[in-house]
Each structure stands twice: as structure tokens, then as C-alpha cells.
Amino acid sequence: MSDFTIYSDDVGKVRRLMLAYQASVKADYIVLCHRDGSIIAEVGSLGIDATPLAVLSTASFDSAKQVGLMLGGETFQSVSYSGENRSIYISPVDEALLLVQVFPGSKLPNRIDDFNRLLVEKLVDAVPAFTQNTSKLR
């Protein structure tokens, strides 16, 4: 686990942004997590413990990053998977944080990259410490 800390006022801002975003893209579940798998904020529900999802999503994103390096330094901005009943979209907020979004059905929403980019910008504006080069936010 990280020594990652965030003020409760900031968590409130983050949750409000995530709830509005969730409603607009119709996601079942969204989690903002530290790259060590620690959950910072979540909205929605999957009916399961989300910690393993956060940890495995981090591993998946890091694996894709390594694949990009093997392919000549390609930088992947997101990772997504589609199944019969659910789809997932994983993207960085910065070096230390990831957004993991779970959607119903086998397809991701149209323009998910654009919507995600807007959410990331709003999160960073709301909590500028998200982009500081530190593992401890206060």
C-alpha cells in the first residue's frame, strides 16, 4: 500500500466530478486508484471487492506500456477490453494515478477518449496535487 494521502474536501470534489461523468457516459463503475492498487475514489458498484480490479488494471496498463516500448517507444494512452457483458477502459491521470471505467455491454461509448481526457483535465484542475511528482498528497 502507498502512503498516499488526500484531503477529504478534495475527495468530495473528485467524487462529484466522477458522479457527473459516470452519468454522462453511462458507466457501471469508475475507480480512481494509485498505481499500487490503492483506491482513492470510486462511484457506482460492481458487487465485488474493487481492490483486485484496481491492482490488475494497474498491471495491465503497465504491461501495455512495456509492449509499447518493445514496439519502438510507442506510448499507449489507454488500454481497453471488451467482453460479452462488460467493457473496461483504463487510462492514466498522471504517472501515479489511473482511472478504471467499467461499462455495460460489449462496446465502449463513442468518443470515450475525448470524454476521458475532459474528466482527467477536470480532476487535475480540482486537485492540482494529482500531477505533483510525489507519492504523498496532503
CATH number of the domain that 101 lies in?
Answer: 3.30.450.30
pLDDT at residue number 126? 85
For residue 134, being part of any structural domain is answered with no
**Residue 70 belongs to a domain:** yes
61 domain-assigned: yes
Name beta bridge partners: 44: 29
Residue 31 lies in a domain: yes
Residue 91, beta-bridge partner list = 99
* Backbone dihedral angles phi then psi of residue 102, each to the nearest 5 degrees: -115, 130
Residue-number span of the structural domain to which 57 is assigned: 8-128
Q: Give the pLDDT of residue 10.
A: 84
Of 68, 94, 64, 89, whose CA–CA distance to 4 is shortest? 94
Instruction: Report yes or no on 3 lying in a domain.
Output: no
Distance CA 114, CA 22 (A): 14
Residue 133 lies in a domain: no
For 113, counting Cβ atoms within 10 Å of its Cβ (0-12 exposed, 13-18 middle, 19+ buried), the class is middle
In a domain, 137, yes or no: no
Q: What is the pLDDT along the chain (138 residues), one digit of tens a residue?
A: 445 567 777 888 999 999 999 999 999 999 999 988 899 999 999 999 999 999 999 999 999 989 988 998 878 889 999 999 999 999 999 888 999 999 999 999 999 999 999 999 999 888 877 766 544 433
- Assigned domain for 136 exists: no
pTM: 0.87
Q: How many domains does the chain have?
A: 1
Helices (H), 1-138: 8-25, 51-70, 112-126
d(CA 68, CA 83): 23
